[in-house]
Structure 1
Amino acid sequence: MSSLDVRQQPAGISTRFAVLLAVACGIAVANIYYAQPLLEEIGHDLGVAQADLGLVTTVTQVGYFLGLILIVPLGDLVNRRMLIPIGSVITAAALLATAAAPTAVTFFIASGVVGLATVVQQVIIAYSAVLSSPESRGRVLGIVTSGVVIGILLARTIAGLLSDALGWRSVFVVSAVLMLGVALVLGLKLPPERPDRPQVSYRRLVTSVFTLTVRERVFRVRSLITLFMFAGFGALWGSMALPLSGPPWHMSTSTVGLFGLVGAAGAFGAARAGALADRGRAQLVSGVTLVLFTVSWLPIAWLPQTLIPLLVGIVVIDFAGQAIHVTNQHLIVGLDPNASSRLIGSNMVYYSVGFGGGAVAATFTFSAWGWAAVCVLGAGFSALALLVWAVDRISPAAKAFP
């Protein structure tokens, strides 16, 4: 891949506009996490057996995974100023269908479409990288991806509160209205595409996750870090409700959802990582935050005996995770900003596999061996991410291409 030359460099976007994109991303990404704290209510209403409740989130995640491969790379081929609003409207329609679903089958189909269309937030992130100047790209990505993390963390809290007050269907109705707002605002505010951007075939776009992994060292290393880091995230957020809802705490769905607020507090500060990456300190940020990410499992392991260390661990793991994610995307997009959609979409395939796999593995581990074993699993995933970074740093290729 080749970088843009000086004449083609974008002028950059304002912090205010980056915050707007962050809000849009947060609203969009929350759609694939709303159902997680609502499984019992949805299952009871639609007649889904206890053993099949996992399908509620699995179908959405499968749709999201397919969207990362089939839709996000389209941003490098078609006009993103049209793709983003259209994707937002389709998401809103699928959310309304989810809210109105009379049967489990209808709900599952609508949820799959929600996951597929929600990848519009990754198209927004890729476009923010294109619009940013090289000197501020890390800062902008830090702001925009902070919106993603906050949206993920707050989704469970919002879903729990709305469901307790108005029923589970209200969650998807409110989200549909928000997505229509995103479509309207971004349809008016997004700047036009550059007319001179390179064109590639759709076939090349959808196979880019494989070609990039084979050909690009930076992409390969950073995507493996993404895989293992988000497996750690999945292990935490995919199973934490189990010990909290059991003895001695017996917390309700909405109370468990409030723990997302703690993680969001850690995500705010991590936006600083993008600015440090702009100054050439991406590797330093990676090393320090990967260590923090791994060590954070020590206080998390105090659950279920006490909650204070858990709160500290959540802040640290989300702060570190956000910093690593921003740094990963900064380095990956730097390979070629013209190819930002396929680069980010392909990288997020690793995220999807890691987060989903970590959540499934942690749920099984908890049922078999308890919370301590989940923490060993999560720390193991985190240590693997740190190991990938460390091995890359001492390799001969790192000296030639830092």
Structure 2
Amino acid sequence: MSNSPSPTASSALSRPLILLVSIACGITVANVYFPQALSPLIADDLHVTSSSAALVVTCAQLGYASGIFLVVPLGDRLRHRGLVTTLLLITCAGLVLAATAPSLPVLAIACALIGLATVVPQILIPMAAGLAAPERRGAVTGTLLAGLIGGILLARTFSGTLGQWLGWRAPFLVAAALDLVLAVVMAVALPRTTPSTGRPYVKLLASCVHLLRAEPLLRRSCQYQALVFAAFSAAWTALALFVTGPRYHLGTQAVGVIALVGAASMFATPVAGRRTDRHGPDALSPVCMTAAVAAGVLLLTGNLGGVVGLVGLGAGMLLLDVAVQSGQVANQARILALRPEARARLNTAYMTCAFLGGSAGSWAGVRAYTAFGWTGVCTLVALLAGLALLRHTLRDRSTPPATTHLVLAGSQPPSKSDGTDGLPATRLPR
């Protein structure tokens, strides 16, 4: 039995519910990203260096990666409605703590707590994948990721603009209020689900590690996203330092405007989902990686300064956003089709690797900018995306490519030898 809807709940995956879950993904994931536009304001108010203030972003992403590994597996063990509501309330507490933080260490701890608890999208997406018909799974995932992307990108517009007007603490307070309202709505609207396992928590975590060892397609998807998402995080973390620095002398609102341009990428993910349903994820992944390399090159035009440089930055970040988020659609369609009874744990392994890559990218982006300027950041972006493309090129082609409907082929009798609740071990290409 899966952590899936009760017999009447399959019909509950209506368009209004998909829209609501998509909005919830955007609101919650924004908590990890809106501090990226605030680091210059935090540095000024708390009297620390810009690079030290940027560590707040790294702490939030490390907290998010930890939450994905430690909390998301509970999506296979607990009912979604109660788990999601509890996490939203914890996130509210963390946001209030961040808004009242008297020093950088307290703020960093608060952001780590926020990241740890705000993993709601990584619980909702596998839930929706289980509710969706297999032939619509890519399209539904793409729609939810459109909301996720909107949250990621509009978060910087929201925090950059509000922070410029009311100070860096205001975005944390507004986010806390939004999460509180969302907690009430989710407690009412989410369908009733039945847990797929009663395994002890420690064994549940061990199962995530086992899946990473046992599934070649999962490992490959993790490598793709860790590299490309590291490039994405490096660019966005360094961008706030660049546009507020000596080249442009702009405020954090400029970061918000660039993010607003990049938010157009949310319209690309439903298209990516339909293409994944039609052609399979392996047809989309190399296109996304190539686009990310091109984005690194295009971002170099930011060194020109003035209007031309700002247009180049906007275009480059838009292309990078489209590449990363469309690649995410392909990767999640690939992994969520592997073992339907373990979707939360598959997503745990995948997203933990992705956000560890993102955390490393944020750290590396600040270091590259400090040592080599914006050119160093652009080179890092292109290099990381190029490594992902090389990994895809060198994949094992001795077996047929992955499709989004592999779940339909899993008709072998269950075997309990793999340590994942007796789920059949899929035989999939590397």
Query: Which residue of 1 is the match for residue 56 of structure 2?
Result: 56
Query: Which residue of 1 is the match for residue 344 of structure 2?
Result: 341
Aligned pair 1:142/2:142, yes or no? yes
SS in 1 for 2:38: helix
1:199 positional shift:
3.5
Query: Which residue of 2 is the match for residue 240 of structure 1?
Result: 239
The more displaced of 173-182 and 58-67 is 58-67
Q: What amino acid sits opposite 1:60 in the alignment?
A: A
The more displaced of 223-232 and 368-377 is 368-377
Query: Which residue of 2 is the match for residue 311 of structure 1?
Result: 314
The 5 Å alignment of 1:32-111 reads 32-46=32-46, 48=48, 52-111=52-111
Q: What amino acid sits opposite 1:162 in the alignment?
A: L
- Whether contact under 8 Å (1:15, 1:140) holds in the other structure is no
- Whether contact under 8 Å (2:77, 2:198) holds in the other structure is yes
Query: Which residue of 2 is the match for residue 384 of structure 1?
Result: 387
- Determine the C-alpha separation between the residues in 1 that align with 2:379 and 2:51: 26
- Whether contact under 8 Å (1:11, 1:133) holds in the other structure is no
The 5 Å alignment of 1:180-259 reads 180-194=180-194, 197-259=196-258
- Determine the C-alpha separation between the residues in 2 that align with 1:262 and 1:345: 30
- Determine the C-alpha separation between the residues in 2 that align with 1:379 and 1:350: 20
1:391 positional shift:
1.7
The 5 Å alignment of 1:360-375 reads 360-375=363-378
Q: What amino acid sits opposite 2:83 in the alignment?
A: L
CA 106–310 in structure 1, closer or farther in 2 if over 3 Å, else same: closer
- Determine the C-alpha separation between the residues in 2 that align with 1:21 and 1:334: 20
Q: What amino acid sits opposite 1:72 in the alignment?
A: V
CA 243–94 in structure 1, closer or farther in 2 if over 3 Å, else same: closer
SS in 2 for 1:171: helix
Gaps of 5+ in 1: none
Q: What amino acid sits opposite 2:356 in the alignment?
A: V
1:39 positional shift:
2.5
CA 290–74 in structure 1, closer or farther in 2 if over 3 Å, else same: same
- Whether contact under 8 Å (2:237, 2:362) holds in the other structure is yes
What are the Cα deviations for residues 256-296 of structure 1, in whole angstroms up to 9, with x where unaligned? 22111111102322221112222243221222222222222
Aligned pair 1:322/2:325, yes or no? yes
Gaps of 5+ in 2: 403-426
Query: Which residue of 1 is the match for residue 293 of structure 2?
Result: 294
- Determine the C-alpha separation between the residues in 2 that align with 1:105 and 1:363: 19
- Determine the C-alpha separation between the residues in 2 that align with 1:143 and 1:344: 17
1:48 positional shift:
4.6
- Whether contact under 8 Å (2:54, 2:237) holds in the other structure is no
1:205 positional shift:
2.2
Q: What amino acid sits opposite 1:290 in the alignment?
A: M
Identical columns (%): 36
- Determine the C-alpha separation between the residues in 2 that align with 1:377 and 1:301: 11
SS in 1 for 2:34: coil
Query: Which residue of 2 is the match for residue 358 of structure 1?
Result: 361
What are the Cα deviations for residues 288-313 of structure 1, in whole angstroms up to 9, with x where unaligned? 22222222222112112023333222
What are the Cα deviations for residues 321-359 of structure 1, in whole angstroms up to 9, with x where unaligned? 111101100110101222111111211111111111122
Query: Which residue of 2 is the match for residue 283 of structure 1?
Result: 282
- Determine the C-alpha separation between the residues in 1 that align with 2:212 and 2:281: 20
- Whether contact under 8 Å (1:290, 1:385) holds in the other structure is yes
Query: Which residue of 2 is the match for residue 269 of structure 1?
Result: 268
Aligned pair 1:119/2:92, yes or no? no
What are the Cα deviations for residues 51-94 of structure 1, in whole angstroms up to 9, with x where unaligned? 63244223322322221111011111111111001111111122
Aligned length: 398
- Determine the C-alpha separation between the residues in 1 that align with 2:202 and 2:46: 39
The more displaced of 53-62 and 129-138 is 53-62
TM-score by length of 1: 0.91
Q: What amino acid sits opposite 1:389 in the alignment?
A: H
- Whether contact under 8 Å (2:145, 2:269) holds in the other structure is no
- Determine the C-alpha separation between the residues in 2 that align with 1:236 and 1:265: 17
CA 182–316 in structure 1, closer or farther in 2 if over 3 Å, else same: same
1:44 positional shift:
4.2
- Determine the C-alpha separation between the residues in 2 that align with 1:219 and 1:249: 42
- Determine the C-alpha separation between the residues in 2 that align with 1:49 and 1:373: 20
CA 297–105 in structure 1, closer or farther in 2 if over 3 Å, else same: closer
- Determine the C-alpha separation between the residues in 1 that align with 2:280 and 2:396: 14
- Whether contact under 8 Å (1:73, 1:205) holds in the other structure is yes
- Determine the C-alpha separation between the residues in 1 that align with 2:387 and 2:208: 21
**RMSD of aligned alpha carbons:** 2.5
